[in-house]
Structure formats: structure tokens, C-alpha cells
Chain A
Amino acid sequence: MTTTTAQEPTVKATVTTPRDREIRIERIFNASRDRVWNAMTDPELVAEWWGRGNKLVIEKLEVKRGGHWRFVEHSAEGVHGFEGRFREVTPPERVVQTFEWDGMPGYVIVNTMTLQDLGDGRTKMVTTSLFHTTEERDGFLQSGMEGGMNQSYEALDRVLASRF
């Protein structure tokens, strides 16, 4: 592991698509694991960044197995509600939670987030988002339409690659 310097970028990310319905993002934060964990689980801290500059109302954030979370983001384009349940909570290293957007009912994403202490004051976060939808959609994905989706992923990969 290289030495951390003040000039080193805070955020590094690699994005891969190991499976057609899975998005995996790896990222290194220039912060201890406890700080990253708190920023993701303390409602007051979550409100500081989750809304990406938009007003965020945290209606619920029960960080425990079976707990419910619900955030409402107020953006220029409108009001968007997001919610889900925690399936697994292991402080300060692992959370599995579901994610749904009010605008796409029936689409459930299962997010697995792990935090790894790199031992040098930095923390590596790996998030995997698995898209669960109806059987119909699964069947359709297997029927040969994944080409178009992969093309979209590739296009997005290029955009993301240019950003980092």
C-alpha cells in the first residue's frame, strides 16, 4: 500500500459489471472506517451528503436487521422517496439492505456494502447492487436483450472512466 499524502485524491473508484444485473463499485475514502461507518448510519451525518446537495428528509433510519429506512429527496425535478429494509448490519464493516425508489415500484435492488480498514487511515468501500425484478423481466433478460443493456453499461463505463 502506498503512503497517503495530502495531495492524494480522496476518492478512487473502479466500476465493473461482473454480471448483467449487478453493479459493483469500489472506492477508497481518505478516512477511518469508523468515520465512514458513522457517516453512513448516523441520520444527522447522512443528511449532509446523501441528498447530493438537495434537501433530504430522513423519515426513518433503523440501522439494524429488519430495520426500515426511508429518505425523501427534494430536488428541482421533484420529490423522490427511497426506502428499504436492512437485511444484515455488522458494524463497522458490512451492511446488506434493500433499495426501492417510489418511482419504480416492484424494482428491488439489494445492496451489499463492505468497509475494509486499509490500515493507513484509509477505508475501502465495496458496494454491490443486485437488481431484482419480476420473473418476467428475468426471463426477458435471458432471452437475448442483454446486449442492449451491456451497451448502455459500456457507454456509462466510458463516462465514469472519464470522470475519475
Chain B
Amino acid sequence: MVQYHTQLNSTFGALADPTRRGILERLGRSEAGITELAEAFDITLTGMKKHVGVLEAAGLVTTEKVGRVRRCRLGPRRLDAETAWIEEYRRTLEGRLNRLGEFLERTKENR
């Protein structure tokens, strides 16, 4: 659980920067090389490597060296934790309201 929190915090840190959000949006369409990303966002190669590094540490992006090019694509984690939380919340709420219905039915005569 502690690790889970740490991961979420790093997610928010990674997402705090508009350029990094833009990178994720771009990678959501297709994978890309670091040089290509640097040109698309009009920043230096070093700057882009730094952004990609932060995203990679948060599990939002994975990179792979293909020949002389480092390819970037969306990581396996993405927003899984957040999405899972919202789903879990809804599932749980449904479960609770089912129980409430059963309870009201059960106690019908003792009001």
C-alpha cells in the first residue's frame, strides 16, 4: 500500500507539468522517438530526456532503445490506479445500496 501511494504521488508530480501532459497526449496517438518529441515540443534534446525520465519513473512511459533511437510509448500503468479507484468506488456504492434495500425490506414490520 505504501508503494502504491508513492507511485500515485510520482504520477501527480509527473503530470504537474503541461509539457509532460502534452507528451502523454502525443504518445497516446502513437509511439515516438525522443528527438522527434523534442522537435514537436520545441525543446532541447536534454530537456526532453529529462521530461521522459520523470514520466518513465512514474510508470507512465516506457522507453526502448531501437538502433540509435530511443523509442517512447505509454507505460503500462497510465491512470490505472485512478481509474480503478473510481470503478471500485462505484462498485462498492452499488453494493452498499443493495444492502440498504435488503435491510429496509427485512425491517419492514418493525418500524
> A23 contacts B86, CB within 8 Å?
yes
- CB contacts under 8 Å to B, within A1-39, are 10-11, 13, 15, 23, 25, 27, 29-32, 35-36, 39
Q: A30-B101, A139-B18, A149-B86 are in contact. List 7 more A-B contacts (CB 8 A).
A: A13-B94, A36-B104, A39-B100, A49-B99, A140-B15, A143-B21, A148-B79
- The size of the chain A interface, using a CB distance under 8 A, is 47
Cα A90 to Cα B95 in complex, Å, equals: 25
> B93 contacts A156, CB within 8 Å?
no
Cα A46 to Cα B28 in complex, Å, equals: 44
Please name all residues of chain B whose beta carbon is closer than 8 Å to the beta carbon of A30 when the two chains form the complex: 101, 104-105
Cβ-closest chain B residue relative to A50: B96
Cα A160 to Cα B111 in complex, Å, equals: 31
Cα A120 to Cα B108 in complex, Å, equals: 15
**27 A-B pairs, CB-CB below 8 angstroms?**
A10-B101, A11-B101, A15-B94, A25-B90, A29-B100, A30-B104, A35-B111, A36-B100, A49-B96, A49-B103, A50-B96, A50-B100, A101-B85, A104-B8, A106-B8, A127-B93, A127-B97, A131-B86, A133-B82, A136-B12, A140-B21, A143-B24, A143-B25, A149-B79, A149-B86, A156-B90, A163-B94
- Given known pairs A134-B12, A136-B15, the reply for A145 and B28 (CB within 8 Å) is yes
Q: Answer whether residue B87 sits at the interface, using C-beta atoms and an 8 A cutoff.
A: yes
Cα A53 to Cα B98 in complex, Å, equals: 11
Cα A156 to Cα B98 in complex, Å, equals: 16
- Given known pairs A52-B96, A137-B82, the reply for A145 and B24 (CB within 8 Å) is yes
Q: Answer whether residue A105 sits at the interface, using C-beta atoms and an 8 A cutoff.
A: yes
Cβ-closest chain B residue relative to A73: B92
B6 to chain A, nearest CB (A): 12
> B83 contacts A149, CB within 8 Å?
yes
Cα A144 to Cα B28 in complex, Å, equals: 8
B33 to chain A, nearest CB (A): 21
A8 to chain B, nearest CB (A): 11
B110 to chain A, nearest CB (A): 10
> A39 contacts B103, CB within 8 Å?
yes
B3 to chain A, nearest CB (A): 12
